[in-house]
Structure 1
Amino acid sequence: MILSTPRRVAFFLPNTFTALNMACGFASIIMSWKGDYYNASMILLLGAIFDSVDGRVARITGTQSAFGEQFDSLSDVISFGAAPAFLAYNFFLADFGRLGIVVAFIYLLCGALRLARFNANINKVSSDYFQGLPIPGAALGIIGYVLINLEFDSLTIAKPVAMLYVVFYASLMVSNVPFNSFKKSEWVRKRKRKVLFLIFLILALVVSYERIMVGLLTSIYVFGSLAYYIKNKSKFQDMFEWRNENEDDDTHEESDNI
C-alpha cells in the first residue's frame, strides 16, 4: 500500500516526538556525566513532555502501530531508565562503589521489566489503572529528589537515604500496586473546568518553583496512590491476576489425556 504524502507525514509525526524523547535522555546522560545535574534533570522533564505527546498525536492522527509502541518503549528505556539511573549514580551513589553501581542498575532493570510487562499485558490490563508505577513516574521521582537536593544542599549528607529512595521507586515499577491513570475518571469528567484550572495552577507552580514542585507533586501522586491501595486493597485484589494462555492450553491438554 502506497501512502499519500500527508499520510506519510502523519505516520512520521508521532515517531518524531518519540525520537525527541530519546534525544533528551541521551543529552541528560551526557550532562550528568559532566556534572551539570540541573540541566540533566530539566531536559528529562522535557523528554517526559515529548513522551506524553507522541501517543496522543498517534491517536489523533489514527497512526497507532506496533512499530510505534516498540519504538516508544525503547525510547523510554533510555530516557526514563538509563538516564535517571546514570543521574542518580553520579549524584548520589558514586561514593558507594560497587554497591552504588548495583543500586543504579536495579533501577534500570526494574524499568526495563516494567516496560516489558506493560507491552506483554497491554490488552489485559484495564486502562483505568497502571500495573505498578509507570517508568516516567519513577523517573520524575528521581529527578525531583535530585532537584530538591540541589535546592537544599544539606540533604545531600543523607546519601544512604537516597540509596533506599532509588530502590523504593525501582520496586514500585515492578509491583502490582495500581496507580490511577485518570483516563476514565468520573471525578475528572464531572469537573473538567476545575481540573483544567488545577492543571494550569500546577504548571505555574512547577515553572516558578521547579526544584521543589517536581518532587512534591510526584510524592503526592505516589504516596496518595499507595494510601488509596492500602485502604481499598480488597477492591484491587484480583485486578492484575490472570492465567497465562499457555497454562490454559496445558491444562486443557492434561484434561483431554485423563
Structure 2
Amino acid sequence: MMLRNQPPEKRPNYREIFPGTFTMGNVVCGFLAILSAFEGNITTACWFIILAAFLDALDGKIARLSGGTSKFGVELDSLADFLSFGVAPAVIVYSVKLNSLGKWGWIISVVYIMSAVYRLARFNLFADTDEKKDFVGLPVPMAAIALVSGIILSYYIWGKLEYSELLVSMIILFSFLMISHVQYDTIPEKFDTQQSRLKLIALIIAGLLIIFQPRLLLFPLMASYILYGMIRELYRLFFKGVGKATDRNDGDLNRKENQDEQ
C-alpha cells in the first residue's frame, strides 16, 4: 500500500556526481601515497601527491563549469584534501626524515596535520561569505606540493634526500603559514583587468616550465610562490600598517559571529 503523502524521491544530480569522481581519485592517490611511503617508495609516494593535486584542481573547475557545485561537494573535497595533502605528506616526511628525530618527529608531523585541518575548516567557513580575491593562509595543497616536490628534486639530483634539515624547516614553516593570515594569490575567475591578465601569463609560463622539466622546476616555482606571499605580507605590515592584511578575514569572522547571535 503506497502512502499518498510520501514526498517524491529526489533524483541524483549527475552534474554533481561527475566532479566527485575526480575527488575520489584524489582520495585514492592520497591512500596510495601513504602505502608507497610505508613500503619505502618515497618518490612514488610524492608523485601520487602531485597527481592528487592535479585531480583536486580539476574537480573544482569541472564543478563550476558544469554547474555541479554543492555543499556536499565542498565537504567531500575537504575530506579528500585532508587525506592527500594533510596526512599523506606528513607520513612521507616522517618516513624519510622525521622518524630519526624521536618524539619531536611525530610532534612536528601532528602539528602539520592539525594545521591542515584548521586551514581546511577555515576555508569552508568563509567559502560563501564574499568573493575570494586571495587565499588567507597558505593553501594546504600548495604546502603539500612544495614539500614533496622538494623531495623529488633531491632524489633527482643526488639520488637520495640531501639537506634534510631544510625539509624539517619547511614543514614547520608551512604549518605556521597554513594557519596564518598571510594572503596568497588565487587563480582569477575573470581576466578583465591588467593584474588578472598578468597572473594568467605567469600561470601559463609556470605551467609550461613544469611540463618541460617537472622534477627540476616544480620545487623552485612553488618556493617562489610561497616566498612571494611572505614578502608581500611583510611589506604590508611594515609599510601599510599592522592589521590591514587581515581586515577582510576578520570582518568575515565578525559577520559570522553576528549571524550566530541572531
- With the length of structure 1 as denominator, give the TM-score of the two structures: 0.85
Residues 154 and 123 (structure 1), Cα distance of their counterparts in 2 relative to 1, 3 Å cut: same
Cα distance in 1 for partners of 2:210, 2:256 equals 47
Contact 2:154/2:162 (8 A) holds in 1: no
Question: How far has the Cα of 1:248 moved from its partner?
Answer: 4.0
Amino acid at match of 2:116: G
Cα distance in 2 for partners of 1:37, 1:174 equals 27
Q: Is the aligned partner of 1:187 residue 2:191?
A: no
Give the aligned length: 247
Aligned twin of 2:166: 161
Amino acid at match of 1:187: Q
Q: Is the aligned partner of 1:171 residue 2:180?
A: no
Question: How far has the Cα of 1:9 moved from its partner?
Answer: 2.9
Question: How far has the Cα of 1:161 moved from its partner?
Answer: 3.1
Residues 97 and 10 (structure 1), Cα distance of their counterparts in 2 relative to 1, 3 Å cut: same
Amino acid at match of 1:222: I
- With the length of structure 2 as denominator, give the TM-score of the two structures: 0.84
- Per-residue CA deviation, residues 190-244 of structure 1 (Å, 9 max, x unaligned), is 458x72xx55543343234322212111011010111122223335252321354
| 3-state secondary structure, aligned to 2:143 | helix
Residues 248 and 204 (structure 1), Cα distance of their counterparts in 2 relative to 1, 3 Å cut: closer
Aligned twin of 2:228: 224
Cα distance in 1 for partners of 2:216, 2:84 equals 21
Gaps of 5+ in 2: 1-7
Contact 2:20/2:59 (8 A) holds in 1: yes
Amino acid at match of 1:73: S
Cα distance in 2 for partners of 1:131, 1:125 equals 13
> How much identity, in percent, do the aligned residues show?
26
Residues 91 and 189 (structure 1), Cα distance of their counterparts in 2 relative to 1, 3 Å cut: same
Q: 1:11 aligns with which of 12, 16, 26?
A: 16
Aligned twin of 1:255: none
Amino acid at match of 1:110: S
Cα distance in 2 for partners of 1:20, 1:250 equals 36
Contact 2:181/2:245 (8 A) holds in 1: no
Question: How far has the Cα of 1:121 moved from its partner?
Answer: 1.8
Contact 2:151/2:161 (8 A) holds in 1: no
Gaps of 5+ in 1: 253-258
Contact 1:31/1:40 (8 A) holds in 2: yes
